[in-house]
Amino acid sequence: MSLITKWGGRPKIGFGTFGLNADSMEDTIQTAVRLGYRLFDTAADYHNEHLLGKAIHHCMDTGMIKREELFIQTKYYPVSPYGYEDAYKQFKKSLEQLGLDYIDAYLIHKPIPQYSENTYRMENKEVWRAFKELKEQGKIRYLGVSNFCERHIDFLEEERNSAFFPAINQLEIHPSFQQKGLREWCGERGIVIEGWSPLNRGKMLNHPLINELAEKYGKTPAQICISWSVQNDVIPITSAENENWMRESMESSDFHLEEEDMKRLQGINSSDDHWDIWLYKRRDMY
């Protein structure tokens, strides 16, 4: 069952928890649920799974939302010792922190752990073996990866039609780092793309073309970027603590950028305009 089948049409926008203020995170999540967000993204490395869990339980306990209406995902962070047993250990802790019986999606946070450049392929295989077992046990609904290139995915699961082929790849994607080739490769294999940092850490808000289009459509620069993602079949993972900004993101899918403007936005793509922490600039090495 794909994400599209589960949702009767994939969620257009997700809500990310990276960098949220811990003191106000519970209120932020409750506001997001009230505004219509249903996909919530966290990670072991964010150290806030317990806060997300507490907030969504409050929403469920007060009748705001049912568990089956939510899509909760978190990520396994590759640390030493890295492998099969550690994947089980981290998953158990994440499940306990969230206070859930199952997680909708569990992702490997990055393909190449630090200090494991020479052995990461086989270690990823072992982590993926644990993921598959957890899925068979009903603890995970969808398996996924984050920041993976094509060859990293192929090495995990050679059989494209396997029930364990990654369902999700979460990538840095925004108009100035579009990853078109990787997006198309994933699309051909039925992998749903999620895009983190859809505003390029705020840099897009000052881009001349983005601002020109914002004026043309009567929208904000942020809404132009998020709409661009949605029209490219990318689920943007947005994040905000201000209720007006949260609402602004949710309203980004109520208009369409014209084809000519989408083509103009292709022209601002830059292979170097991204956060170089995933060794993408050395992609031929790994």
Contact assessment for residue 196 and residue 172, using Cβ atoms and an 8 Å cutoff: yes
How many Cβ atoms sit within 10 Å of the Cβ of residue 9? 9
Q: In sequence order, which ranges of the chain are alpha helices (DSSP H)?
A: 3-7, 25-35, 49-61, 84-98, 120-136, 150-156, 180-188, 208-217, 221-231, 243-250, 259-266
Say which of 37, 46, 76, 142 is annotated catalytic: 46
> What are the angstrom distances between the C-alpha of 10 and each of 6, 13, 21, 192?
8, 9, 28, 9
First and final CA of the chain: distance in angstroms?
A: 32
Q: Which residues pair with 33 in a beta bridge?
A: none
Contact (CB, 8 A) for 26 and 58: yes
Backbone angles phi, psi at 13, to 5 degrees: -140, 140
Instruction: Return the CA Rg of the chain.
Output: 18
- Is there a contact between 10 and 232 (Cβ–Cβ < 8 Å)? no
106 noted as active-site residue: no
Active site residues: 46
